[in-house]
Amino acid sequence: MLSSRIIPPLAGLLAEFHTSINVAGMRYFDGNIDRFMVFCLLLRTSLSHPDRNGTISVHSAAMSLGRPFETVRRHICALLDRNVCERTSSGVMLSRPYWATPANWRQMRHAHDCFVRLVADGVATGAFPATSAVQSPNPRLSLDDGVCAAADLLLALADANRSWCPESIDLAIFSAVLHANKQALEADRSLHGNPNALLPRHAVRVTQIARALSVPNTTVRRRIAPFCGSGGLYIRTSNGLHVATDRFRNGEPGNDGDARHGSIRLIIQRAVAAGLSLNDPAQSYCERRPASPRID
């Protein structure tokens, strides 16, 4: 596929996954991605216990996220005010009202299925070898294990890309732009043949990115400004933004994550050990293959 030579397959798949999770999560948290990341850590921690009541201290949460203690404390206080989490003698965990809300379970099933879609497409494109991990005798990934994998991957992507996207909002914007460019490029193939580069007609407008991520236009404009120009992440065109594809020439940055949350391959290996079949990942969908998010 020619688009694979412009945007490497794994980069495109990760951008789709990242954008899918961010669109839903940032809508829930009114565009506050830092609060969403704290929530993801609390969700992952709660699910680490069989009764979904695993806890973590504010200090440990700040260390795990690589964020200042006061910043994490402030976001946890906001989550406490919304009854999303609750304090216990051993730390903070997601609250009983959170688990009792049906809409939250729908969002968890969506996150699980986005992770399964990533693996299914990764196997189909060769980005993930189908024999890279020991298969479980139970070839189906549970909801809890799939949500843990999705949360781990989201946190690992933030860790891995911090050297060039130091803030989570910057990486969310980059993923959304890359995803929109890739969708436009793939749609273009049937209309204009096979372009050998991203063109202005593949660009996405700031307003479209802002709407998808539930943030103000001014926020997106301010965040992208330092990354435009020579050597930057973006190229401005008359139609909007597209990513600078030379970022991929020396390999795809940030594919492996770091030790705090595990590499992408390790996360997939854990999911396979928990039941995800690489021979037929689709059988692990909770509901169905989720639609790819549209940035329009």
Q: For the chain, give every domain's residue range.
A: 2-284
Using one digit for the tens of pLDDT, what is the confidence trace for 182-228?
999 988 876 666 777 788 899 999 999 999 999 999 999 999 999 99
Higher pLDDT, 231 or 85: 85
**Strand 85-88 relative to strand 91-94, pairing:** antiparallel
Q: How many CB atoms lie within 10 A of CB 23?
A: 19
CA 160, 163, 164, 169 torsion-angle sign: positive
CB 140 within 8 A of CB 237: no
d(CA 284, CA 183): 25
Q: What is the CA radius of gyration of the chain?
A: 19
pLDDT at 147 over 80: yes
Q: What does the buried/exposed string (b/e) look like for 97-136 if buried means 16 or more CB atoms within 10 Å of the residue's CB?
A: ebeeeeebeebbbbbbbbbbbbbbbbbeeebbebeebeeb
Give SS3 for 144: helix
Using alpha carbons only, give the angle 39, 127, 241 rounded to the nearest 5 degrees: 65
In sequence order, the β-bridge partners of residue 92 are 56, 87
DSSP string of 199-225, one letter each residue? -GGG-B-HHHHHHHHT--HHHHHHHHG
The whole-number pLDDT of residue 252 equals 47
Other Cβ atoms within 10 Å of 92 Cβ, number: 24
Q: In the prediction, which pLDDT does 50 show?
A: 87
Amino acid identity at 220: V
Q: Could you say which DSSP state residue 241 is in? A: E
1 pLDDT tier (thresholds 50, 70, 90) = very low
Query: What whole-number percentage of the chain has pLDDT above 90?
Result: 71
Beta strand 234-237 pairing with 240-243: antiparallel
Query: Which residues are 87's β-sheet partners?
Result: 92
Q: How many CB atoms lie within 10 A of CB 244?
A: 17
Per-residue pLDDT reduced to its tens digit, 87-133: 999 999 999 999 999 999 999 999 999 999 999 999 999 888 776 55
**Separation of alpha carbons 134 and 130, rounded Å:** 10
Question: Which tens digit of pLDDT belongs to each residue from 28-71?
Answer: 999 999 999 999 999 999 999 989 999 999 999 999 999 999 99
Which residues, 6 or more positions from 253, have their beta carbon under 8 angstroms from its beta carbon? 160, 161, 163, 164, 247
- The yes-or-no verdict on residue 155 having pLDDT over 50 is yes
pLDDT given at position 223: 97
For residue 136, the model assigns a pLDDT of 59
For residues 152 and 44, is the Cβ–Cβ distance under 8 A?
yes
Of 59, 35, 256, 261, the closest CA to residue 149 belongs to 261
Instruction: Kindly report, residue by residue over 215-265, the tens digit of the pLDDT.
Output: 999 999 999 999 998 889 999 999 999 999 887 765 545 444 444 555 888
Q: At what angle do helices 264-274 and 143-160 cross, to 10 degrees?
A: 170
Q: Tell me how far apart the 2 most distant CA atoms of the chain are, in Å.
A: 62
Per-residue pLDDT at 114 = 98
pTM beyond 0.85: the answer is: yes
User: For residue 191, what pLDDT is reported?
Assistant: 64
141 pLDDT higher than 70 = yes
Q: What is the pLDDT of residue 4?
A: 46
